[in-house]
């Protein structure tokens, strides 16, 4: 990140080299073909003093490109002025000038909400960037429930956010979870294709209902602990609020520790008594992410190991199964 003579801060330039097939096309068309740039982002770049350049010279989106041209995009630096920086220990899995990927602990909200302005992941990230001297806006590409642990991707600029959001909407981001549930699913592996909507009596609670949004979850049983519990690996086909929690309960296997979507028949079960006090939240962890890097195009595969409370739960369930 640097400053121009006018004092405006910019992120490092993102560069592309025009190919033979780009010859004679407008810069706008080349960027749409190359990276699927949005109309909104193109307008922002066009109106920025150093937003668009070819071979070091400022140009407009209708500039005709020649093979071999060096195309440069530069975005003005932004900051989340309303998010208060707060010192916090962060588990950073990956970081470059475009992305930050963190392993979020359970019990931490991703972004401040009304009445909850501190003690969120965003507060910690803003302090971290401030200490590094980076002026960056907090742009989470996706979110996790407060009591779900695991991988969260934060884009450092609008191009990275747009590219990753497009991959999400097109179903090209692999999101895998490990969870521990009561009971056993009807099959060792399968898909749960059941629409999810709000519950009329409690708008914060989601349920499977015919008029809900299409929702798809893939699962595979990784380990069984007798007939009363098992470990399940889950991959999301869609990303609805509380999707895994709702779908697991829908097939009769509520997540251990999830009081909001629990089933009465499991609350007093032998399994519930066995794990009582070991985990105080839903046993759900976002353990793996796969996506294409929004700028370099590199295939990314990132992992986050199980947190301590879920390892303790796994150990206890294993001991119980071997008793």
The number of residues making up the chain comes to 323
Pair 12, 73: CB distance under 8 Å: no
> With 0-12 CB in 10 A as exposed, 13-18 as middle and 19+ as buried, what is 114?
exposed
The set of residues, in sequence order, having a beta carbon less than 8 Å from that of 235 and lying 6+ positions away, is 174, 175, 176, 177, 217, 218, 219
Residue entry with tokens 């960027």: 31
Which is nearest to 144 in space by CA: 134, 154, 133? 154
CB atoms within 10 A of CB 64: 15
Residue entry with tokens 């590094």: 132
Q: Using CA atoms, how far apart are residues 149 and 235, in angstroms rounded to an integer?
A: 15
Does the annotation mark 323 as catalytic? no
CA angle 152, 144, 285 (to 5 degrees): 80
Q: Using CA atoms, how far apart are residues 204 and 297, in angstroms rounded to an integer?
A: 38
Q: Using CA atoms, how far apart are residues 323 and 238, in angstroms rounded to an integer?
A: 39
Q: Using CA atoms, how far apart are residues 206 and 194, in angstroms rounded to an integer?
A: 12
- Among the listed residues 2, 29, 91, 145, the single catalytic one is 145
Residue 65 tokens read as: 């490109």
CA angle 107, 110, 111 (to 5 degrees): 125
The set of catalytic residues is 145
């Amino acid at each position: 990140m640097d400053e121009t003579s006018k004092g405006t801060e910019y992120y490092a330039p993102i560069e592309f080299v025009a190919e033979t097939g780009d010859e004679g096309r407008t810069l706008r068309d080349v960027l749409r073909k190359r990276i699927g740039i949005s109309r909104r982002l193109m307008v922002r770049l066009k109106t920025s003093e150093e937003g668009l350049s070819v071979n070091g010279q400022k140009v407009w989106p209708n500039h005709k490109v020649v093979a071999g041209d060096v195309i440069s995009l530069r975005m003005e630096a932004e900051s989340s002025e309303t998010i208060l920086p707060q010192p916090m220990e962060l588990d950073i899995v990956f970081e470059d000038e475009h992305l930050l990927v963190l392993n979020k602990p359970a019990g931490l909200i991703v972004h401040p909400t009304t009445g909850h302005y501190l003690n969120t992941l965003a507060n910690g990230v803003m302090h971290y960037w401030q200490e590094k001297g980076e002026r960056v806006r907090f742009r989470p590409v996706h979110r996790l429930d407060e009591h779900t642990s695991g991988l969260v991707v934060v884009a450092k600029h609008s191009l990275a956010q747009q590219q990753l959001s497009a991959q999400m909407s097109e179903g090209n981001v692999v999101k895998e979870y490990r969870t521990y549930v009561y009971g056993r699913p009807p099959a060792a592996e399968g898909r749960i294709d059941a629409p999810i909507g709000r519950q009329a009596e409690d708008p914060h609670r989601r349920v499977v209902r015919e008029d809900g949004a299409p929702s798809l979850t893939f699962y595979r049983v990784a380990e069984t602990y007798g007939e009363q519990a098992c470990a399940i690996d889950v991959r999301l086909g869609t990303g609805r609020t509380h999707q895994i929690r709702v779908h697991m309960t829908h097939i009769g296997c509520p997540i251990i520790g999830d009081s909001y979507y629990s089933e009465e028949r499991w609350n007093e079960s032998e399994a519930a008594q066995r794990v009582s006090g070991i985990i105080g939240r839903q046993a759900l962890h976002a353990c793996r992410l796969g996506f294409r890097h929004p700028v370099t195009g590199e295939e990314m595969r990132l992992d986050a190991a199980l947190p301590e409370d879920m390892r303790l739960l796994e150990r206890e369930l294993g001991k119980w199964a071997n008793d």
